[in-house]
Structures are given as structure tokens and as C-alpha cells.
Amino acid sequence: MRPRSRAQRRAADAAIRVAMVPAALIGIAVLAWILGEVIARGVGALTPTFFTELPTPPGMEGGGLGNAIVGTLLMTLLAALMGTPVGLLAGVFLAEFGPSSRIATTVRFTTNLLMGTPSIIIGIFVYSVLVLPLGHFSGWAGAVALAILILPVVMRTTEDMLNLVPDELRESGLALGAPRWKVTLGIIFRAARSGLVTGVLLAVARVSGETAPLLFTALNSFYWPGSLSRPTANLTVTIFNYAMSPYSDWQEKAWGASLLITVSVLVVAVLARFVIKDGRERA
């Protein structure tokens, strides 16, 4: 540190303090602007038929994105059902069975790599293992792509949450003669419940807004998702297609869908925080 006069040091401090306020304001204001714009432009599209009807061709009044809402819900639910159990058990392995073993270290590093892999690459991977060989796009492929995105997030949060559980709990359970699996699932999981629920909720919320992994797997469709073996309608790809189209009524629907997705993701994220708070208060 170079010696500086007191005035210089004070001036540097004041300059930083002055620069901070506009920086913070600009950051917050732009983010608020994005939210405001989504609400202002999307609210008009959210009529009752938006939720219940099939899309109409451009220029035709009415219609909705009911099929895309159902499709997104279905695929997200399936992805959660596939990704969560595997992620939870894998997290148990990392936290409970030799956390510093070589295999666990490798798995942990690979999990980080998978978490940092762009979601569009996951989409292409699933395309080449599930869409190319079978010859058609499908809702199943979309759900698998989303499940691959959920898996590493659930693994990491599970490991972190289980590590927070004190060892005394494990030892007391084992001392009573309970087998390891019973101690883990019955005692440790219960102790870490709120954290685990939050982790899963946040992972699922994040994935429900993903577009890139669905572009080449679920594709999109104008019909109700009758079978997941066919291209399946979903909100995010619909937003992409509609926003890029030259039709103003489609663009309005895209804003409506954006608002719906944003609100749902934010609601789940807020809910997840309440779960954590609730758990901490009881603990």
C-alpha cells in the first residue's frame, strides 16, 4: 500500500461511495424495467381462453396456449420424477459414503462440469440418442433432457444439506441398531427435509423455463399433448417461435406466455425460500 495523505484517502472513499449509488440504481432499474415490460405487455394476452384453448392461425381472434401449458407441466413433472430420486440418492453417496474417496471426488468434479455444460448441448445429446435413432421428436426426449439438467443441481444441494446434519444424529441412529439405509432415509433425510425440498423446488423451477434443451427434443406442436411419443407443445419453444414470427397477435401471445413463465418461476422460488425459513425456525 502506498502511503497517501488523509485527504486523498477520503477522496477515494467518497468517489467510490458516489459511484456506487448510480451503479446500484442502474442495475436494479434495468432489471425492474424487464419485469415491468413483461407484465405490461403480457397481461393483455392472459384471457381465460389463453389457458384453455388451442392456438389459432395468425390473424384469427381468440385461441390460447392451453396445449403448451399442459405440455410444459407434463414434461417438467416427468423430468422431476426422473431426475430427483437419482439426484437424491447420488447426493447420499457423496455425503454419507466416503465423502473424500477418489470415486466421490471424481463424481463431484464431473457433476460440476455437467452443471456448467450449456443446456443446448444437453438438447443436442438427447437428440442424438433419443430422437435420431427413433426417428421422431418426442415429449419423452424433452423430459429426459430436462431431467439431465435437474440431476446435478439436486445432487449438489443434497450433498450440502446432508453435510449440515450433525454426526451425532447418525451415531444415535446407528447406536439403536438401525441399519444405515434406515438412518439415512428415516433420520438424516427428515432432519434435512426443508433444505432438500428447497433444492428440488429451485432446480425444477429453473428447468421449467428452459428453452434450448427442448428445441431439438420436444420440438413444438399445435395440438394437445395426446401422447408423449410425439412432438409436444411447450411454452418456451412457443415463445421463441411466436416472438420471431412477424404476426403481432402471435407476438402478444408470446408476451403472455413470458409473463406466465416468469410469474410461475418467481412464485416457486419465493415458496422455496419460505420452506427454508420455516425449517430453520423449527430447528
Q: In the range 145-174, which residues lie near other proteins by CB under 8 A?
A: 148, 151-152, 155, 167, 170-171, 174
* Residue whose C-alpha cell reads 450433498 in the numeric block: 159
Instruction: Please report, for residues 123, 133, 241, 255, 272, the alpha-carbon distance to residue 149 in angstroms, rounded to integers and kept in the order given.
Output: 10, 22, 23, 25, 19
Rounded to an integer, what distance in angstroms lies between the CA atom of residue 150 and that of residue 85?
11
Nearer to other proteins, 19 or 52 (CB): 19
Fill in the DSSP letter of residue 267. H
Q: Which three cell numbers stand for residue 90?
A: 447420488
**Residue 141, C-alpha cell as written in the block:** 426426449
Instruction: For residue 229, give the H/E element and its range.
Output: none
As a whole number of angstroms, the distance between CA 170 and CA 187 comes to 8
Is 245 a binder of other proteins (CB under 8 A)? no
Q: Closest separation between CB of residue 136 and other proteins, Å?
A: 13
Q: Which of 51, 93, 189, 224 binds other proteins (CB under 8 A)?
A: 93
Identity of the residue, 96 or 249, whose beta carbon is nearer to other proteins in the bound complex: 96
Decide: is 222 part of the binding site for other proteins (CB under 8 A): no
Q: Is 232 in the site for other proteins (CB under 8 A)?
A: no
For residue 186, the minimal CB distance to other proteins (Å) is 12
Residues, the chain, total?
Answer: 283
Provide, rounded to whole angstroms, the least separation between the CB of residue 134 and other proteins. Answer: 15
Choose the stretch contacting other proteins; rule: CB under 8 A; options: 53-61, 62-70, 97-105, 275-283.
Answer: 97-105
Count of CB atoms situated within 10 Å of the CB of 10: 11
Q: Which of 29, 43, 81, 129 binds other proteins (CB under 8 A)?
A: 129
Q: Which is nearer to other proteins, 52 or 106 (CB)?
A: 106
